[in-house]
Amino acid sequence: RKEVEQDPGPFNVPEGATVAFNCTYSNSASQSFFWYRQDCRKEPKLLMSVYSSGNEDGRFTAQLNRASQYISLLIRDSKLSDSATYLCVVTRPGSARQLTFGSGTQLTVLP
């Protein structure tokens, strides 16, 4: 089983749609959680950290369920510029500095 698993995608949605991505992680001792976005052939950019209480940043909402080892990202009112690959990332237990990346979910927002 992979350490971090994501919806395989791709997701193709119209502008203005709401889209949700899910991610599960295998090790219950993981401590920190993030969503990054990566545009084609570019570096990953930190979208948001995910906190136990859930957090929101504009159109983006992240949720963490430690009991189910599940992380989600909700994007409301999708924009064309949201088209990217979204990476679910967790820190490896015992090595808080080492990030483990999911394989990513590709999102295309259509006009």
Strand, coil or helix: 82:
helix
How far is the C-alpha of 101 from the C-alpha of 14, rounded, in Å?
27
**Within 26-65, which residues bind other proteins (CB under 8 A)?**
32, 34, 41-46, 49
| Interaction between residue 101 and other proteins (CB under 8 A) | yes
Q: What are phi and psi of 67, to 5 degrees?
A: -65, -40
Amino acid in position 72: S
Candidate segments 9-17, 59-67, 75-83, 101-109, binder of other proteins by CB under 8 A: 101-109
Binding site for other proteins (CB under 8 A): 32, 34, 41-46, 49, 87, 91, 95-104
